[in-house]
């Protein structure tokens, strides 16, 4: 799992090597070469908002995901605000899940307004992959539902303090996402929120 990594999801390409999982830019999905930094850790997947050719993109994901620098598949998932048909998103998400299972690499999930569909897709898919919901900001009731389903939750700069508190430490991750903040600032805000809840 990625819990020993301080920042499990960032779009900052210059994030410290070995301390963050860097999401590869969308350009790699259309064949643009990418220079991997020595010691840096990466993830690759098709974001539900991806505007390009999804079939070509998934072929790129499959190829790149086998590289040792790629430690996670994603971010990928479902987003009801995307112009892409939900059925297309679900099919592609299922393929990401199968790939993560095959490679035994964690899956980093993006989900917006499609939690029921997300859980249904996961239930229909092969078991055995660690699933991390990134940038979780939902209410405690949703957090509990996802935790009961076996998912991990990753909290970024914006988060629901009650959900953070109820998430067990061994199922909780931190991330900077696209904030540009150092992960230390995010971890500090989480720590302060947990302390306030205890006082």
Residue 84 lies in a domain: yes
Residue 1 lies in a domain: no
Model confidence at 72, pLDDT cuts 50, 70, 90, reads very high
CB contact at 8 A, 137 and 162: no
Sign of CA dihedral 86, 123, 45, 56: negative
Residue 166 lies in a domain: yes
Q: What is the pLDDT of residue 2?
A: 77
Number of domains in the chain: 1
CA distances 170 to 12, 66, 118, 199, Å, are 25, 27, 22, 22
Model confidence at 12, pLDDT cuts 50, 70, 90, reads very high
Q: Residue 165 belongs to a domain with what CATH number?
A: 3.20.20.140
Q: What is the pLDDT of residue 19?
A: 95
CA diameter of the chain: 52
Residue 169 lies in a domain: yes
**Tokens 């892409």 belong to which residue?**
84
Residue span of the structural domain in which 157 resides? 7-198
Sign of CA dihedral 61, 104, 111, 173: negative
Query: Per mean pLDDT, which range of 1-10, 22-31, 48-57, 79-88 is the poorest?
Result: 1-10
Model confidence at 20, pLDDT cuts 50, 70, 90, reads very high
86-103 and 115-124 helices, crossing angle to 10°: 50
Q: What is the pLDDT of residue 125?
A: 84
- If you average pLDDT over every residue of the chain, what do you get? 96
Q: Distance between CA atoms of 28 and 193, rounded to whole angstroms?
A: 37
Indicate yes or no: pTM above 0.75: yes
Q: Distance between CA atoms of 110 and 30, rounded to whole angstroms?
A: 21
Q: What is the pLDDT of residue 198?
A: 74
Angle at 4 between CA 116 and CA 128, to 5 degrees: 40
Q: Quick: pLDDT tens for 52-71.
A: 999 999 999 999 999 999 99
SS3 26: helix
Alpha helices in the chain (DSSP H): 54-65, 86-103, 115-124, 140-148, 161-166, 183-198
More reliable by pLDDT, 67 or 4: 67
Residue 148 lies in a domain: yes
Q: What is the pLDDT of residue 1?
A: 65
Residue 158 lies in a domain: yes
Model confidence at 128, pLDDT cuts 50, 70, 90, reads confident
CB contact at 8 A, 111 and 143: no
Model confidence at 199, pLDDT cuts 50, 70, 90, reads low
Residue 60 lies in a domain: yes
Residue 2 lies in a domain: no
Q: Pick from 2-6, 163-167, 193-197 the range whose average pLDDT is largest.
A: 163-167
């Amino acid at each position: 799992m990625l819990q020993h990594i301080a920042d499990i999801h960032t779009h900052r390409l210059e994030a410290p090597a070995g301390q963050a999982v860097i999401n590869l830019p969308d350009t790699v999905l259309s064949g643009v070469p990418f220079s991997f930094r020595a010691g840096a850790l990466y993830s690759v997947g098709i974001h539900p908002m991806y505007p390009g050719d999804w079939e070509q993109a998934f072929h790129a994901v499959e190829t790149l995901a086998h590289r040792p620098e790629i430690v996670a598949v994603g971010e990928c998932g479902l987003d009801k605000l995307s112009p892409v048909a939900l059925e297309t998103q679900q099919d592609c998400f299922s393929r990401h899940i199968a790939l993560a299972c095959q490679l035994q690499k964690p899956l980093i999930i993006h989900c917006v307004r499609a939690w029921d569909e997300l859980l249904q897709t996961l239930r229909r898919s092969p078991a055995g992959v660690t699933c991390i919901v990134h940038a979780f900001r939902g209410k405690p009731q949703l957090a509990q539902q996802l935790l009961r389903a076996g998912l991990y939750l990753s909290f970024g700069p914006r988060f629901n303090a009650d959900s953070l508190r109820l998430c067990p430490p061994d199922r909780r991750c931190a991330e900077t996402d696209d904030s540009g903040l150092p992960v230390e600032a995010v971890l500090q805000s989480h720590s302060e929120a947990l302390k306030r809840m205890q006082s």
